A and B are shown apart, each in its own frame.
Chain A
């Protein structure tokens, strides 16, 4: 158990719908990263938040957005869903302290299936 929690574990929805994925980082971690894992694209970085502020964006579609709340949990919102959005979505968190090597700890993921 990495200490990072994600809900829900599985999500099945239809094209055109909107879903929200939730991530709670490890206690004390200020950074939350979102990654998408699909068979064709592999593991791709989507977005990074640090202490409530967006820090970096990767290959995130405009239909996707995220935020990090004052209690440091983060939500990834996916809208106008397409079949190709079916994937495993991971979040990861890391400590702000160099002492801990800034290792990223991954959550169990949310498996999204768009029908």
Chain B
């Protein structure tokens, strides 16, 4: 079965710093990968997704992620974070076919200091 690991439990950055959050999945072959964000007290929102094609995926709010198949990785990046990016970030992989459920990593809490 698939599993997802996120390397950082809590990341603290100052505004304008660059961000990279690590994510590795366990299983090879065709994968659908996602990054979701959960702002305090809110539901999960999709930041970006990778299904196929260009391994560099651009999402909302200036986020991007790079799919590196050889490393089983899908790291999330943002060149310059803002205080409003303070949230918890979850990497997920779809298990099974196109209607498969998501398997989530444990999440990374990002705190951005103004």
For the side of the interface on A, what is the size category?
A: 20 to 34
Interface check A74, CB cutoff 8 A: no
Chain B residues, CB < 8 A from A25: none
**For A42, A45, A56, A104, which residue has the most chain B Cβ atoms within 10 angstroms?**
A104
Of A11-19, A77-85, A94-102, the one contacting chain B is: A94-102
Interface string of A48-67 (1 = CB under 8 A from B): 10100001101000000000
Interface string of A85-114 (1 = CB under 8 A from B): 000001010101010011111111100000
Chain A residues, CB < 8 A from B96: 56
CA distance A105 to B100 in the complex (A): 13
For the side of the interface on B, what is the size category?
A: 20 to 34
Q: Which of B43, B51, B94 contacts A108 (CB 8 A)?
A: B43
Please judge, given known A-B contacts A48-B99, A106-B44, A109-B43, whether A42 and B49 are in contact too, CB under 8 Å.
no
CA distance A115 to B66 in the complex (A): 44
